[in-house]
Amino acid sequence: MPADFSGKWILETSDKFEEYLKVLNIDFATRKIAISLSQTKVVTQDGDKFEFKTLSTFRNYELAFTVGVEFDEYTKGLDNRNIKVGTPHVSLVTWEGDKLVCTQKGEKANRGWKHWIEDEKLYLELTCEDIVCIQVFKRKE
Ligand code: VLZ
Protein backbone atom coordinates (compact mmCIF):
# COMPACT_ATOMS: atom_id res chain seq x y z
CA MET A 1 0.00 0.00 0.00
CA PRO A 2 1.76 3.16 -1.19
CA ALA A 3 1.84 6.31 0.94
CA ASP A 4 -1.12 8.70 0.71
CA PHE A 5 0.04 12.21 -0.14
CA SER A 6 -3.32 13.60 -1.15
CA GLY A 7 -4.71 16.71 0.46
CA LYS A 8 -3.75 20.30 1.22
CA TRP A 9 -0.49 20.98 2.95
CA ILE A 10 0.93 24.24 4.25
CA LEU A 11 4.62 25.05 4.48
CA GLU A 12 5.88 24.97 8.04
CA THR A 13 9.68 25.04 7.71
CA SER A 14 12.05 25.54 4.82
CA ASP A 15 15.80 25.01 5.00
CA LYS A 16 18.15 26.18 2.21
CA PHE A 17 15.30 27.18 -0.14
CA GLU A 18 17.10 30.37 -1.10
CA GLU A 19 20.33 28.44 -1.83
CA TYR A 20 18.27 26.08 -4.01
CA LEU A 21 16.76 29.00 -5.96
CA LYS A 22 20.22 30.53 -6.32
CA VAL A 23 21.74 27.38 -7.79
CA LEU A 24 18.85 27.43 -10.32
CA ASN A 25 20.06 30.94 -11.28
CA ILE A 26 16.97 32.72 -9.96
CA ASP A 27 17.77 36.38 -9.43
CA PHE A 28 18.17 38.09 -6.07
CA ALA A 29 14.89 40.05 -6.08
CA THR A 30 12.80 37.02 -7.07
CA ARG A 31 14.55 34.92 -4.42
CA LYS A 32 13.75 37.44 -1.71
CA ILE A 33 10.08 37.39 -2.64
CA ALA A 34 10.01 33.60 -2.99
CA ILE A 35 11.51 32.90 0.44
CA SER A 36 9.02 35.21 2.16
CA LEU A 37 5.98 33.38 0.78
CA SER A 38 3.61 31.00 2.39
CA GLN A 39 3.35 27.93 0.15
CA THR A 40 0.49 25.49 -0.08
CA LYS A 41 0.90 22.09 -1.74
CA VAL A 42 -2.28 20.62 -3.11
CA VAL A 43 -1.79 16.98 -3.97
CA THR A 44 -4.22 14.74 -5.79
CA GLN A 45 -3.38 11.10 -6.09
CA ASP A 46 -5.19 8.44 -8.11
CA GLY A 47 -3.17 5.23 -7.98
CA ASP A 48 0.13 6.16 -9.57
CA LYS A 49 -1.24 9.34 -11.18
CA PHE A 50 -0.36 12.52 -9.34
CA GLU A 51 -0.94 16.23 -9.50
CA PHE A 52 1.18 18.54 -7.38
CA LYS A 53 0.15 22.18 -7.19
CA THR A 54 2.44 24.52 -5.31
CA LEU A 55 0.41 27.67 -4.65
CA SER A 56 1.47 31.08 -3.39
CA THR A 57 0.29 34.66 -3.70
CA PHE A 58 3.18 35.37 -6.10
CA ARG A 59 3.43 32.35 -8.42
CA ASN A 60 2.11 28.83 -8.70
CA TYR A 61 3.86 25.75 -9.99
CA GLU A 62 1.87 22.78 -11.24
CA LEU A 63 3.07 19.33 -12.12
CA ALA A 64 1.20 16.24 -13.28
CA PHE A 65 2.81 12.84 -13.83
CA THR A 66 2.38 9.10 -13.63
CA VAL A 67 4.91 7.17 -11.60
CA GLY A 68 7.26 5.25 -13.91
CA VAL A 69 6.44 7.29 -17.04
CA GLU A 70 8.97 9.82 -18.33
CA PHE A 71 7.54 13.28 -18.91
CA ASP A 72 8.42 16.72 -20.21
CA GLU A 73 8.81 19.33 -17.56
CA TYR A 74 8.95 23.04 -18.22
CA THR A 75 9.80 24.73 -14.94
CA LYS A 76 7.62 27.71 -15.75
CA GLY A 77 7.91 30.59 -13.32
CA LEU A 78 10.80 28.90 -11.52
CA ASP A 79 13.97 28.76 -13.62
CA ASN A 80 12.05 28.34 -16.90
CA ARG A 81 14.04 25.35 -18.09
CA ASN A 82 12.81 22.60 -20.39
CA ILE A 83 13.23 18.99 -19.40
CA LYS A 84 11.87 17.08 -22.38
CA VAL A 85 11.19 13.47 -23.38
CA GLY A 86 13.29 12.35 -26.39
CA THR A 87 16.20 14.56 -25.43
CA PRO A 88 18.77 13.70 -22.80
CA HIS A 89 16.64 15.97 -20.60
CA VAL A 90 13.70 14.24 -18.99
CA SER A 91 11.85 13.95 -15.71
CA LEU A 92 10.86 10.67 -14.11
CA VAL A 93 9.20 9.86 -10.79
CA THR A 94 9.55 6.44 -9.21
CA TRP A 95 8.74 4.84 -5.87
CA GLU A 96 11.62 4.07 -3.57
CA GLY A 97 9.74 2.29 -0.82
CA ASP A 98 7.22 4.88 0.36
CA LYS A 99 9.23 7.80 -1.04
CA LEU A 100 8.25 9.45 -4.28
CA VAL A 101 11.51 10.21 -6.06
CA CYS A 102 11.87 12.50 -9.08
CA THR A 103 14.97 12.83 -11.21
CA GLN A 104 15.06 15.91 -13.44
CA LYS A 105 17.74 15.07 -15.94
CA GLY A 106 18.60 18.33 -17.65
CA GLU A 107 21.04 21.13 -17.95
CA LYS A 108 21.49 21.17 -14.17
CA ALA A 109 23.43 18.34 -12.56
CA ASN A 110 22.02 16.19 -9.78
CA ARG A 111 18.58 17.78 -9.97
CA GLY A 112 15.51 16.19 -8.45
CA TRP A 113 13.23 15.92 -5.45
CA LYS A 114 11.85 13.41 -2.98
CA HIS A 115 8.56 13.45 -1.12
CA TRP A 116 7.63 11.34 1.88
CA ILE A 117 5.37 11.38 4.91
CA GLU A 118 6.80 11.25 8.39
CA ASP A 119 4.95 11.91 11.67
CA GLU A 120 1.90 13.09 9.66
CA LYS A 121 3.98 15.77 7.94
CA LEU A 122 4.76 16.00 4.23
CA TYR A 123 8.49 16.26 3.57
CA LEU A 124 10.06 17.59 0.38
CA GLU A 125 13.75 17.40 -0.34
CA LEU A 126 14.78 19.51 -3.34
CA THR A 127 18.25 18.86 -4.74
CA CYS A 128 20.33 20.63 -7.37
CA GLU A 129 24.10 20.29 -7.76
CA ASP A 130 25.45 20.30 -4.18
CA ILE A 131 22.42 22.01 -2.60
CA VAL A 132 19.79 20.12 -0.61
CA CYS A 133 16.72 22.06 0.52
CA ILE A 134 14.27 20.50 2.97
CA GLN A 135 10.70 21.69 3.32
CA VAL A 136 8.18 20.37 5.82
CA PHE A 137 4.42 20.83 5.35
CA LYS A 138 1.61 20.18 7.78
CA ARG A 139 -1.95 19.28 6.87
CA LYS A 140 -4.22 22.24 6.30
CA GLU A 141 -7.50 22.04 8.28
O1 VLZ B 1 8.13 20.92 -6.22
O2 VLZ B 1 9.59 21.29 -7.86
O3 VLZ B 1 6.47 19.18 -4.81
O4 VLZ B 1 6.71 20.30 -8.65
C5 VLZ B 1 7.84 27.53 -5.38
C6 VLZ B 1 6.80 28.44 -5.94
C7 VLZ B 1 7.71 26.20 -5.99
C8 VLZ B 1 6.86 29.79 -5.29
C9 VLZ B 1 8.85 25.27 -5.71
C10 VLZ B 1 7.45 30.90 -6.10
C11 VLZ B 1 8.49 23.99 -6.36
C12 VLZ B 1 8.81 30.64 -6.70
C13 VLZ B 1 9.51 22.97 -6.20
C14 VLZ B 1 9.36 31.83 -7.39
C15 VLZ B 1 10.73 31.59 -7.98
C16 VLZ B 1 9.08 21.67 -6.86
C17 VLZ B 1 7.81 19.65 -6.72
C18 VLZ B 1 7.56 18.76 -5.57
C19 VLZ B 1 6.53 19.69 -7.50
Report d(CA 8, CA 1) in Å as an integer.
21
User: Is 7-139 assigned to CATH 2.30.42.10?
Assistant: no
Judge if the beta carbon of residue 63 lies within 6 A of ligand 1. yes
pLDDT computed for residue 85 by the predictor: 62
Could you report the per-residue pLDDT of 90-105, keeping only the tens digit for each? 899 999 999 999 999 9
Judge if the beta carbon of residue 123 lies within 6 A of ligand 1. no
* Mean pLDDT (the chain, rounded): 94
Instruction: Point out the ligand 1 atom lying closest to the alpha carbon of residue 58.
Output: 10
If pLDDT is split at 50, 70 and 90, which confidence band does 87 have? low
Q: Where are the domains of the chain?
A: 7-139
pTM of this structure: 0.94
Cβ atoms 132, 124 nearer than 8 A: no
Q: What ipTM goes with this model?
A: 0.95
Mean pLDDT, residues 101-130: 96
Q: Measuring from atom 15 of ligand 1, which residue has the nearest CA?
A: 78
Judge if the beta carbon of residue 117 lies within 6 A of ligand 1. no
Could you report the per-residue pLDDT of 3-52, keeping only the tens digit for each? 889 999 999 999 999 999 999 999 999 999 999 999 999 999 999 999 99
Report d(CA 22, CA 30) in Å as an integer.
10
Cβ atoms 11, 137 nearer than 8 A: yes
48, 46, 44, 47: which is closest to 62 by C-alpha? 44
Residue 89 in this model has a pLDDT that exceeds 80: no
Q: Which amino acid is at 111?
A: R
The CA-CA-CA angle for residues 102, 89, 2, to 5°, reads: 20
Cβ atoms 5, 122 nearer than 8 A: yes
Instruction: Point out the ligand 1 atom lying closest to the alpha carbon of residue 26.
Output: 15
Q: Which amino acid is at 99?
A: K
Mean pLDDT, residues 109-114: 96
If pLDDT is split at 50, 70 and 90, which confidence band does 86 have? low
Q: Which amino acid is at 63?
A: L
